[in-house]
Amino acid sequence: MQTFFRLFWILLLLLSLVWVAGGALVASGAVDDGGAASSLREDIIIFTDGLNVSPELPPSLLFVITGLPLALLSLFFAWRNHRRLTLRAEAQKQTRSEGSPSERRGTVFITALSLIFALLLWNARGIDALLAQGAPASDSFSLTAVTYPVRLFVTFVHEAGHALAALLTGGQVQSFTVSPDGSGYAITAGGNISLILPAGYLGAALFGALLFLLSSRAPSMTRALSLLLGIGFIALTLLFARPDASGNITALVVGVGYGLALAILGWAAPQAIIVFLLNTLAVLTGLNAVFDLVHLVSNADIGNAGVLNDAAAFSQNVAPLLPPSVVALLWAAIAVGMMGVAMYFGLLKPAQSELT
């Protein structure tokens, strides 16, 4: 019976996600073939007008509002049935508390291992150069191929930071994009610009710092954390991510791809694997955010395709007495501080307590 209900909730979850994803994409105009999709979008707009929905509320948001709660409910019950099915196997193992010294030592070890792995990936270019010495180009494995998706992930988090800051300060988000070269662009209206502009770089650094801290200090929460992050990334993608000026759907691929990966990771992977991968992703995100800010210090006046970068825009619109390079330097210092605090409380302090 429990197996039947688990399948039922999984099916309901899939139908809810199809409702949210398909409805949001059609209603937002991202799928516009001039035929059935366009006709369906017109019907959706007419239907929402008949409901007297506020014109400020995009039709795509209605699908998220109606489908996401059902998806979350289905996910909860499917997870609960999954847990019940594994209780017997877990009961056969030796009972141990989550706060036991052995588990704490294991978490510290996994955290340290993820940090080392992230640093190896961070130095991918140098490692690739060493591996390529004396080997044919076709036979050499490139670590930069592994870090490239992380580069796109950081850009997605950067642009999502702008979007969330706009929403939290009373503004609106029209869209944000991610391009294959790792650049991105967010279009917002209203809100507090003094918070929206720093929210890209500092938002990515804060995301990496908090993810590392939570994964290291609360490993029992990582399963739920991974699931929530996955659902959040998919929701942000369907609501606001759009193709870039060249028509590349990189933002959609990155958002939905990472969202599904995080959700599956939280659903099925062992806790140790979740802690390791979340910590690795957190360190790489934080390091990339800090590196971007350090690069911005020496290139603070350079924009992309005629558009001012965040530091230059902040200097021009918020703090005209501060040169863009000074703004970038202040942001870099804040980002380094956040990552330093996360490293200390997430790894160094727990390691010290275990060694003493």
The per-residue pLDDT for range 293-330, each reduced to its tens digit, is 777 777 666 655 556 788 888 988 898 888 888 888 89
Question: d(Cα 347, Cα 65) in Å, to the nearest integer?
Answer: 39
Q: What pLDDT shows up at residue 139?
A: 44
Residue with tokens 């290291």: 216
Query: What 3-state class would DSSP assign to 321?
Result: coil
User: Is the pLDDT confidence value at 28 over 90?
Assistant: no
From CA 346, how far away is CA 265, in angstroms rounded? 21
Residue 29 has pLDDT above 70, yes or no: no
Question: Tell me: the pLDDT tens digits for 255-265?
Answer: 999 999 999 88
Its pTM stands at: 0.70
* pLDDT digit string, tens, across residues 135-184: 544 444 455 666 788 888 989 999 999 999 999 999 999 999 999 888 89
What is the structure's pLDDT at 208? 92
**What are the backbone angles phi and psi of residue 306, rounded to the nearest 5°?**
85, 0
Residue 81 is which amino acid? N
Closest Cα partner for 61 from 71, 72, 53?
53
User: Which among 131, 114, 142 has a CA at the least distance from the CA of 287?
Assistant: 114
pLDDT beyond 50 at 228: yes
- Decide which of 215 and 354 is more confident: 215
Which residue type, as a one-letter code, is found at position 283?
Answer: V
Asked if the model's pLDDT at residue 248 lies above 70, the reply is yes
